[in-house]
Amino acid sequence: MSLSMHQISVPIFVRQLNALAALLTKGEAFAQDKGLAPAALIDARLAPDMLPLARQIQIASDAAKGACARLADVENPAFADTETSFAELQDRIARTIAFVESVAADRFEGSETRVVTMKTRDATLEFTGQIFLLHVALPNFFFHISTAYAILRHNGVPIGKLDYLGGL
């Protein structure tokens, strides 16, 4: 039995977004326990030239919903990148999960060979759906989830690998 494009995208995005929400919950509790302003974590970066936690979450959200929209050939909902609080970031994650889960599995049928177009600042790129998902969308999504995890961990939030994985 082969795996469908839906099976190798939607459940993965949902699981990891739920894990990200749990990481944020722990980050918020840590900030409260330590008397830190939420911005101390939300605006934190691993390096001066890297994006802050909030932006990592926004990009992970965009990666998940954008991948599903492109593969299923449905409209990608636009989310303003204005989140500045834990509650707003949690809401964005919840809205992303809701969208990803709302895309019917049958919309993904044939997407492995469908041409997917992605515009960047410098170019318009075209891939087959399978190459796009496996070589672009999932690695990009996991990069930003991992970076969000690393920012929280670097700033002292008591999280570990099982938190990142969403429990097993």
DSSP, res 75: P
Residue 149: inside a domain: yes
pLDDT in tens, 111-142: 999 999 988 899 999 999 999 999 999 999 99
- For residue 70, what are the domain limits? 10-165
Q: What is the pTM of this model?
A: 0.95
Which helix (H) or strand (E) is 25 found in, with range? helix 10-34
Q: What is the CATH number of the domain that holds 21?
A: 1.20.120.450
Q: Which of 142, 144, 19 is nearest to 81 (CA)?
A: 144
Confidence band of 1 (pLDDT split at 50, 70, 90): low
Question: Which pLDDT score is estimated for 94?
Answer: 98
Residue 83 lies in a domain: yes
- The radius of gyration of the chain from alpha carbons, rounded to an integer in Å, stands at 16
- Phi and psi at 117, nearest 5°, equal -105, 135
Whether 2 is in a domain gets the answer: no
Is residue 94 one of the residues assigned to a domain? Answer: yes
Cβ proximity of 71 and 16 under 8 Å: no
CB 69 within 8 A of CB 76: yes
> Phi-psi category of 166—alpha, beta or left, where left has phi over 0 and alpha has psi -120 to 50?
left
Task: Please report where in the chains the tokens 């894990």 appear, as a residue.
Answer: 19
Confidence grade of residue 168 (pLDDT, cut at 50, 70, 90): low
List the Cα angle 80/53/127 in 5-degree steps: 65
**1 assigned to some structural domain:** no
As for how many domains the chain has, the answer is 1
Residue 30 located in a structural domain: yes
Gap between the Cα atoms of 146 and 50, Å rounded: 13
CB 128 within 8 A of CB 113: yes
Q: Are 6 and 102 in contact (CB under 8 A)?
A: no
pLDDT tens sequence across 37-90: 999 999 999 999 999 999 999 999 999 999 999 999 999 999 999 999 999 999
44 located within any domain: yes
